[in-house]
Amino acid sequence: MARRDYQFSVSSRCELLPYLLRIPLGLSRKQAKDLLRFRAVTVKRLTTVRHDTQLEPGDVVTIAAGKQIPTASIERHGLKIIYLDDDIVVVDKRAGLLSMGSEGEKERTAHRILNDYLKALKKSSLQQAFIVHRLDRETSGLIMFARSRAIQAALQQNWKTVTKKYLAVVEGVPSKSLGTLRDNLAETKSFRMHRVERGGALAITHYRVLRRCQDKSLVEFTLETGRKNQIRAQIAGLGHPIVGDRKYGATSDPARRLALHSCALSFCHPVSRISMEFRSAMPSRLMELIAPRRQD
């Protein structure tokens, strides 16, 4: 397993906890204590460390952000676990798989699959993941879960600082190659989001057209807010519904699925504060929709 390690050289005698608060990672006192509790901090000359361990000049302090899990060994029921440590899990889900279900949900969901894996991994029925955000059933790609309620709360509280990017194949070609969609969205009785002049919730989405292919375009979206069906409703309101999205007015469905994929998550680790970025390639089934057509 590959580890992401950061090393710091001690220049003067001090205790370990105050030293962790001074190094250039911006750790809070709680975050530093969590690193010690999860044994993510080591000192080269010592076998064990505590918050009051005395450091000497020349000591090397190593901080491990987490443990990278081989992806080939953890893929089941349409869910691939691509990163796992003591605080967070990042998964890549297939289209058609629910992010989570209700209390009485009998159907297999990404949340349930992940919980089953964590319980087996730790051999404990108490292990579970906590929802940080969701993807629509029809959307594929990256989702992040927390390993505790405290981490869940920290991530959700700072969710605006997380960069969330999506790729979609839309019908037609937007008149502007890049822009920002700013709308108030409200939900109808049929659970469809639509733009309203007054009321609703503000939705802000930045977009840029990456490729044009006759009657379709590949578009990258970056979310500034996180409303239900935000991308789907806003791009449809622009006159270019996502391919396969009949709920929002699409007239074509060549891939027999919604052509929307969560492709990137970038954020600071909630404990180590180390910058992390995860990417997921657009499924080939969707990329084929905007591939140049061969001339016979």
User: Which among 34, 136, 183, 245 is annotated as catalytic?
Assistant: 136
Tokens of 104: 């009485």
- Residue type for 72, please? A
What percent of the chain clears pLDDT 90, i.e. is strictly above it? 57
pLDDT attached to residue 131: 93
| Residue written as token pair 């580890």 | 3
Q: Which position has the higher pLDDT, 220 or 68?
A: 220
d(CA 143, CA 164): 10
Give phi and psi for 150, each to the nearest 5: -65, -45
| Residue written as token pair 């789907």 | 232
Q: E strands along 133-234, which residues?
A: 140-146, 163-171, 178-187, 193-196, 201-213, 216-223
Highest mean pLDDT: which range of 99-108, 186-195, 285-294: 186-195
| Residue written as token pair 């929002």 | 248
| CA-to-CA dists, residue 107 to 34, 97, 239, angstroms | 35, 9, 35
Whether the Cβ atoms of residue 77 and residue 108 lie closer than 8 Å to each other: yes
pLDDT attached to residue 1: 35
Closest CA to 251 of 287, 215, 278: 215
Write the pLDDT tens digit of every residue in 132-142: 999 999 999 99
pLDDT attached to residue 38: 72
- The mean pLDDT value for 50-63 works out to 91
- Residue type for 220, please? E
Give phi and psi for 110, each to the nearest 5: -60, -40
DSSP string, 73-141: GSEETTEEEEEE-SSEEEEEE-TT-BS---TT--S-BHHHHHHHHHHHHHT-TT---EES----TT-EE
d(CA 248, CA 20): 51
| CA-to-CA dists, residue 74 to 20, 121, 235, 261, angstroms | 33, 11, 35, 21
Q: Establish whether 296 is a catalytic residue.
A: no
Tokens of 53: 């361990």
